[in-house]
Amino acid sequence: MALPFVDRSSSAVPVQFVPESRWRSWLKEQTASSRAWIESTGVAGKAGDLAMLPGDNGKAAGAVLVLSAKPNLWDFGALATRLPDGTWKLASATDPVSPTDAAVAIGLGTWRFERYRSRKAKPVAKLVWPDGADKKRATAMIEALCLARDLITTPSSDMGPAELAAAAQSLAKQHGAKLKVIVGNDLLKQNYPMVHAVGRASARLPRLIDLRWGNARHPKVTLVGKGVCFDTGGLDLKPASGMLNMKKDMGGAATMMAVAAMVMAAKLPVRLRLLVPAVENSVSGNAFRPLDVVPTRKGITVEIGNTDAEGRLILCDALYEGASEKPMMMVDCATLTGAARVALGTDLPALFCNDDRLADDLLAAGRAVNDPMWRLPLFAGYRRLLDSKVADINNAPGVAFGGAITAALYLKEFVPDDVPWAHFDMMAWNNSSRPGRPEGGEAQAARAIFAAIEKRVGKK
């Protein structure tokens, strides 16, 4: 996507920012004619209001945007799409939001998914880069997050396991990373039996995407993303309503690709590894079945309680492999359970973590960059619900309660206690458009995860 920024413009029109709490006092400071004009437009000084200021030549002499009482980056997210065509400049400080974060929000607000549209949306306004903004950092973050949005929003007809691997290949090439992809029956030969079992029913072969980047002497950081490119539910078939938006079931993979892109663009001093099991959970004569028993990379066996609980199955092989290198921290992202959405809604990813320090780092990072999450417990008392009478573990308990917790407890079986690990159960989708967050795919928690990694290892 083209960014809405220019380096400079002598004809740029100014945009002022006024917090909601200061609106009345600011309005009193304006000339009588300006006050009368603003009041006639119906602008009441509520957060998000945008007032145009008239000039002598019939054109806008400026604009004023009303910020929240406690401003955050999303206050700036709709600027480029709401301002009239032309070039504008920020005439007020963005405090307490950094100029870089304000630029990120402005850029993200211009994202549109128009791949299949013959008629494109009208061009957005241009803005001069905010004074003090780190252009390189902001650009890298916007591009990474928009990449994730594009991948998630693309229909499964054009975003299967092969296309997801191709996107990872492009990312590796861009940043000088190494990429290995294990495809089809080679998954069995190289001991990824769960990835193969879930994906084998599709004509689009399953695969494990393995990206490595950075200096081997640096601290190891491992990212794992659920890459179910479409989920029918398998033989435990979803109803039509449940299947409708399952193109986004690879949202965890896209989110982790965004985090990896930001880490590599920032050249953080880490040894990065990104693991994405990419499959399509389909129905055919060779689909895995309820109550099948399937081996795992760890060597334990899993009784299939439900074929629609497939995300945790492909993740368990990838997590066990990722943990084998004893990384400093390992994080996975997945659109894993409806239970997490029932508990926390669509905007708040659920965080599960086996290490309090890592959890605290992620929660603090989320607050700092306004990328919220909520920690839920890895309650050991529910582990008994995963017991199987014929295998080492069952992937889906036969009870309707605590589904996000039992899913996380299943994953925990494949991560040793001495590997700090965090698991995000997320929606990966904006159901409606808001400033900076248009309707469509979303890389939830990506900025927070990147910030937590950066805080731990420092900038290069």
Q: What is the C-alpha to C-alpha distance for residues 324 and 421, in angstroms, rounded to an integer?
A: 12
Residue burial 51-78, b: 16+ Cβ < 10 Å; e: rest: bbbeeeeeebebbbbbbeeebbbbbbbb
Catalytic residue, candidates 312, 341, 412, 437: 312
Q: Measuring CA to CA, which residue among 363, 384, 342, 351 is closest to residue 455?
A: 363
Instruction: Please enumerate in sequence order all residues whose Cβ is within 8 A of that of 381, keeping only pairs 6 or more positions apart, or say none.
Output: none
Catalytic residue, candidates 82, 204, 212, 238: 238
Does residue 389 carry a catalytic annotation?
Answer: no
- CA angle (317 as vertex; 311, 323 as ends), nearest 5: 115
Q: C-alpha dihedral over 160, 161, 165, 171, to 10 degrees?
A: 50
Residue 104 φ/ψ, nearest 5 degrees:
-60, -45
Does residue 35 carry a catalytic annotation?
Answer: no
Q: C-alpha dihedral over 347, 353, 358, 360, to 10 degrees?
A: 60
CA 358, 359, 360, 363 dihedral sign is positive
DSSP letter at 437 equals B
Q: Which parts of 83-216 fold into alpha helices (H)?
A: 99-109, 135-153, 161-175, 186-189, 193-199
Element (H, E) at 343: helix 338-344
Task: Read off the tokens for 199.
Answer: 């994906």
Q: What is the C-alpha to C-alpha distance for residues 376 and 122, in angstroms, rounded to an integer?
A: 43
DSSP letter at 185 equals T
Cite the active site residues.
238, 312
